[in-house]
Structure 1
C-alpha cells in the first residue's frame, strides 16, 4: 500500500511542477503529457497492447441495463464470397470504375464494385433484374469458400445483442428457413415474421492490395448487392409495431430505411410516410435507436430529413458516408465536398455531428424532437455525441464499440495485439468552422484513449480503433459497434 501511496504522491508533484513551469498546460493537458511520457518509458510494450488494456480499465457496465430489446425490420441471409473470385466465375473482366445508383446488368456490377474497391469504402446497391440476380446468387452460393451468415442490419444487431445472457431479444423481419436456422433459439421471432423463402444478399469482400485490372484496393472492405422485395418495402414494419405491446421492450433498434431506396419516388414516399407514422406511435418511455446504412439518392435522404424521421428517434448510428450524405441532403457543413479524401477529418466530422444535433436534435428549449445521441464510426476512430442531460456512461459506450470492432474483424473473442494496428490521428482540431475550437487541438494516445469535449450543450467522446491487419469478415461491423455501444449506454 505504501508503494501505491508514494507513487500517487509522486504523480501529484510532477503534475504540479508541469502546471507551474508550463502555465499554458491545463490539468488535462498536463496529465496527457505525463501519460505520454510514461508510455514512452514502456517501449517494450506495443501501443496496441497498451490501448486494449486501457479500454478494459475504462469500460464499466451502466448502473441500469436494458433487459428487453426489440429489433427490426430488415433481415436476410448473407452469402459472403471473394468479390474478385465471383466476377471471374461470372466471366467478367475489369472495366471502367463507374458508380451506378442501381445495377441493371453484369457490367454495372463490375464497374460499381471496382469503383468502390478503388476507394476502399463499403457500399450497397439494388440489382434491378430479378432473374439475373438469382443466377448470380446461385453462382455465388456454389463458389468454393462461399459462406452463409445472418444478414440484414436488424438481424445482425439482434444476433449481437442476444449474446448477452441478461437480454431478451425480439426480432421482426422476413425470416425464412435458412435464416431461422442460423439465428438459433435464443432470439424470439413472432410467427407473423416467418416466411417460406429467404431473402439473399451477396457480399463481395476484398482485402488490402487485391487487384482487379488496374484497380488496387487500399484497404479491406466489402460491396453488397441484392434484389430484395420484402426488406425493400419494409413489409414487416406493421408486424414489428404490433408486437411491441405484448413484448414490452425498453429499447427498440430500428433499421431498413435504406432498403426502400430502390422503389419509385411515389411509392417510396408513401411508404416512408406510413413508416414515420408507425414510429411516432411508439411510447415515449421506450428508447429508439435508428441504424442508418448506405444510400445514394440525395432526394430520398432529403425526404427522410424533411419528414422529420430523425426527430422521432432518440439515437442514430452511422458511418462516414452516411454522415456526409445527410449533410449534403440538408445543406449542412462541408456538404460541398463529394467524398472524404482518405480518413475523414475529425474536425469536419464533429462539425457535421454538431449541426445534426443542433438542427434536428432535442437541444435547448426544442420539444418537437427526441434525437439526443449520435454514434459515428469509421475505420480509424469513433465519435459519440450526446445532448447533455439525456445519456450516461458514454465513455464506456464508445470504448466498447471500438473494442468490438478490433476483435470481431479479426475473428477473436478479445483484442489480439499481434493482429491489429493503431492508425488513428494522434492530434486533431475540434472543429473546422468554429472560430475558437478550430484553434484548439487534442491528442489521442494508447494510455488515454477516450477524449471528451463540449460544444454548446453537446458532449463529444472520441476513441481510436485498432484496425485488423487481415480481417476475416467485414460485414456487420457497424451493426456490432452500434449494438455494443447501446449495451453500455444508459438513458437518463
Structure 2
C-alpha cells in the first residue's frame, strides 16, 4: 500500500539490464490473448495512456485513466470503478462470453463497512444481466481474506457457469466450501489424480449449492471447470452444455503455456520438457484406471457421470522469457475454442 516505495522499485527496475515493459492486469492480459486469437473484445478497466497504445485494435476499452504509466500499486481497481460504463456498453455488445477477473485486488483492501459487499452486489447484477446463452467465466486468483472469499462464493461463483484456477486456488476454494476456511498450504506439484478428485468434488459441491438455492434466477449451474498447473491442463465440461471443442481447448491451453513462457509462437522441443509421468491415474481411489501418455494423441478425454474430462500434458518451457500473466493467457486461450 506504499505508493512511494512502489515507485522507487519501478524506477530501480529501469536500471536492470534487459528490462522491458509488458501488458499487465488480469483483464488486459486475457483481452489481449483473446484478441490475438481472433476475438473482438469489450474491455472494462482503468488503464493508463501507455497501455491503450499497445492494446489490439480488436479491443474496445472503457474507462481509460490518464495515469503516466501502469502500476501494480492500485487503489483504484478495488472499487471496480469502470463497471458502470462497462455495463452500459455491454448491452449493445451482445457477447458470446463475459469474463470476470482481477477481484484479488479487493483482497485485504481497507474498505469501509459494507462497501465491498455493495460493490460485489453491483457486479452480480452485471453478471445476471447477460442472457443465459452467453457464457460467464470467473477467473480465480490467490485470495487470503476469508471474508472476501465468502462474499465471492455467495455473490459471484453462483453466477458463473465456468471457473478457471490453478492448482493452489482449487484446494483453497474447496476448503472454503467444505470447512469455511482457506487452506494455508497446498501442493505446488500435485498428482493428476489428486487434482481430478478435487475438481470432481468442487463441480459436485457447487452444483449442489445451485440446486439447493431453488430458482434458476439465483444463478447458473457450473458446466465448465478449467484447472491449469505447471505440468498439465485439465478441463471438465458438462455434456450437452454450450461449451464445445473440449479436447482442442485443452490442447490449446497447453500449447499456450509453452508459447507464453518461452515468448515464442513456435514450440521448440529442445527448449521444453515433460514433467508429467508416462501415465496417470484418473483418481486416487484404489483400482482406478491408469491412462498412458501417447505421443501421437497426447490429450486424453473420457466421460464420467454427466460430464467429460480432458487432460493434456504441458511442454514445460526450460528457457523462460516470462511467467507473469501465464494463467490469464492459458485460461483465455482455452475459452476461445469453447465459445
TM-score (norm. length: structure 2): 0.89
Provide the C-alpha distance between the structure 1 equivalents of 2:264 and 2:183, rounded to a whole number of angstroms.
40
Structure 1 contact 175–198 (Cα < 8 Å) conserved? no
Q: Rg: which structure is higher?
A: 1
Structure 2 contact 49–69 (Cα < 8 Å) conserved? no
Q: In the alignment, what sits opposite 2:80? A: 234
Q: In the alignment, what sits opposite 1:356? A: 202
Larger CA deviation: 405-414 vs 258-267: 258-267
Secondary structure class of the residue paired with 2:258: helix
Q: In the alignment, what sits opposite 2:70? A: 200
Write out aligned runs for 1:106-121 (5 A): none
> Please, which runs of 5 or more residues in structure 1 have no aligned partner?
1-127, 202-225
- The question of 1:315 aligning with 2:162 is answered yes
Give the Å deviation of 1:381.
0.4
Q: In the alignment, what sits opposite 2:279? A: 427
- The question of 1:470 aligning with 2:316 is answered no
**CA offsets, 1:33-85, max 9 Å, x none?**
xxxxxxxxxxxxxxxxxxxxxxxxxxxxxxxxxxxxxxxxxxxxxxxxxxxxx
Write out aligned runs for 1:8-407 (5 A): 128-165=1-38, 167-190=39-62, 193-197=63-67, 200-201=70-71, 226-264=72-110, 266=113, 267-305=115-153, 307-331=154-178, 338-340=185-187, 342-361=188-207, 367=216, 368-390=219-241, 391-407=243-259
Secondary structure class of the residue paired with 1:170: strand
> Please, which runs of 5 or more residues in structure 2 have no aligned partner?
none
Give the Å deviation of 1:466.
0.1
**CA offsets, 1:232-255, max 9 Å, x none?**
222112222111112222222221
Give the Å deviation of 1:362.
8.0
Q: What is the aligned-residue RMSD (CA, Å)?
A: 2.3
**CA offsets, 1:63-115, max 9 Å, x none?**
xxxxxxxxxxxxxxxxxxxxxxxxxxxxxxxxxxxxxxxxxxxxxxxxxxxxx
- Cα 1:430/1:289, change in 2 over 3 Å: same
Q: In the alignment, what sits opposite 2:337? A: 488
Which of these residues, 273, 287, 294, is aligned with residue 445 of structure 1?
294
**CA offsets, 1:419-467, max 9 Å, x none?**
11111122222222x56xx532222232231112333212211010000
**CA offsets, 1:98-152, max 9 Å, x none?**
xxxxxxxxxxxxxxxxxxxxxxxxxxxxxx2222222222222443332111111
Secondary structure class of the residue paired with 2:36: coil
Give the Å deviation of 1:319.
0.6
- The question of 1:412 aligning with 2:285 is answered no
- Cα 1:364/1:247, change in 2 over 3 Å: closer
Q: In the alignment, what sits opposite 1:23? A: none
